[in-house]
Amino acid sequence: MRIERLPDRPATAWPECCVRCLQSSALSLKTFWFVYLKDQRESTLSNWGLPLISGFNGTINFHVNTPSTTHSLEKRIRRRVNGPMHDFFAVCAPGMETLCHQDLTSLHLSGNVMETGGGVDFSSRLPGAYQANLHHRIATRILMRLTQFSATDFGRLSRKISEFPWELFLPNACRLIIHVSTHHSRLYHTDAIGIRIRDGIAAHISIVEDPPADTGKTDRDASSVFLQQLFVRAVNDRFILSIDTSGLPLYKRGIKITGGPAPLRETLAAATLKLAGYTGTGPLIDPMCGSGTFSLEAAMMAQNIPPGWLRSFAFEGWPGFRPKQWMHLRHQAEKEIVLQPKPIIFASDQSEKALNLLNQTLEAHDFFTCIQTARDDFFNIHPGKFGRTGLVVLNPPYGLRMGQIKESREICQEIMKKLTTDFRGWKLALMTPHDIFPKRYPMQLTRHAIVHGGLDLTLYTGIIPD
């Protein structure tokens, strides 16, 4: 809904309420303009079944689908949105493109999958995007390419935006956030570009203002307020517009009650486990677990629980969303879940507060019985009690994150001594800043450069020699 005043005269000068209806054949929608005075607002708008806006005298611009136009709109959605193939882009952290490509390839989508800088391009029909959001463990979000065009002035930009059928892709009365980036383009003022795009979209659908920041919403019910995001990128005067299918970032799984003081993103934890060769068949030790991100991700992987199982997505608010298709995909995924009745993941930490937060998360769900927690020091753990070798994953409190760098170096040296003494034959995943790990280490490890929270980190994976 867009609210504005007519430019020629103030609202208080209008003697009575009037209504005029404009038919837009291009949009198959009827646009109504209501001009009213404060004391006449209730009687006029309630007759049309419209919401009231208190304390405002002016014009309300909104769009209404009549029964006849609704049928026409559904036909256009089937033809333009649900039927054809679309291009998508899976965004991931730098250096994770290969893992992201492998994750998408395993979904057996109908179109091409191609690794590129910053993510992976793939093509599919809409259910492919549903699958990617539900199952993808590495990507940050899934974008759907809508349109692209060249523009060197605001006039052409506004025309191209107005020509696009936004009502087929975005829900009416949605919250819309527009992200604009430019590079080597004549139109470079991102705010001005965003305003013109927003105005062009508002000619097709109603856009509501953002609610207060503290809405009490979580990533499980964020789509109920129809939050939508549009990503606009202009390079060399070429504009590419993409709509976000995910909503909140995909590393928000909808699992944790709250995070710890230095939370690790779930997507990075999943990537770490994959790079370390974790299969879910052997024990996993998470001896510096913090809020338990590694343990939670490992439990979901070991039991084939999709990472998006407990959350909702932006595409669920789209006009072209088909709930039956979505429920079918979820039903198919549910049949693949295999719960582990006995502990196979062992999370521990010296912090009682961190363990309490993790235990609250575990108690909130009935499928984490495979995780066992204990307050313990890593240097007191003896792996022989686990019966066989497995994976030990470590994210120590390095100096750039908490504590002092000197202390972190000393901790890292002690960790290496402990590993080479007690964990022979175990797989290892160790995350450190690049300048803290010892210059020499008594084992062959594979080095992976990663970025997390603006920090350049190094992940070391390999097998501790016997």
Q: pLDDT at residue 344 above 50?
A: yes
Contact status, residue 118 vs residue 92, Cβ threshold 8 Å: yes
**pTM (predicted TM-score):** 0.82
More confident residue, 20 or 214: 214
State which amino acid sits at residue 231.
F
For residues 58 and 88, membership in a common domain is answered with no
Reported as a single tens digit per residue, the pLDDT across 47-94 is 334 443 333 344 444 455 555 567 899 999 999 999 999 999 999 998
What pLDDT score was predicted for residue 466?
Answer: 82
Reported as a single tens digit per residue, the pLDDT across 301-325 is 999 999 999 999 999 999 999 999 9
For residues 230 and 321, membership in a common domain is answered with no
Supply the mean pLDDT for the chain: 82
Decide if 445 is inside a domain.
yes
Q: pLDDT at residue 46 above 60?
A: no
pLDDT band at 405 (very low <50, low <70, confident <90, very high): low
For residues 158 and 236, membership in a common domain is answered with yes
The range of the structural domain enclosing residue 430 comes to 266-306+314-463
What pLDDT score was predicted for residue 53?
Answer: 38
Reported as a single tens digit per residue, the pLDDT across 428-460 is 999 987 666 655 665 788 889 888 877 788 899
**Range with lowest mean pLDDT among 15-24, 92-101, 274-283, 342-351:** 15-24
Q: pLDDT at residue 288 above 60?
A: yes
Scan for tokens 């193939």, then name that residue: 85
For residues 14 and 93, membership in a common domain is answered with no
Closest residue by Cα to residue 303 from 276, 274, 335: 335
- Residues 189 and 186: their CA atoms lie apart, in Å, by 9
For residues 142 and 237, membership in a common domain is answered with yes
CATH number of the structural domain spanning residue 290 = 3.40.50.150
- Residues 466 and 461: their CA atoms lie apart, in Å, by 16
Per cent of the chain over pLDDT 90 is 64
- 88-108 mean pLDDT: 94
Q: pLDDT at residue 37 above 50?
A: no
For residues 354 and 383, membership in a common domain is answered with yes
Tally of domains within the chain: 3
For residues 333 and 450, membership in a common domain is answered with yes
Q: pLDDT at residue 402 above 60?
A: no
pLDDT band at 398 (very low <50, low <70, confident <90, very high): low
For residues 88 and 205, membership in a common domain is answered with yes
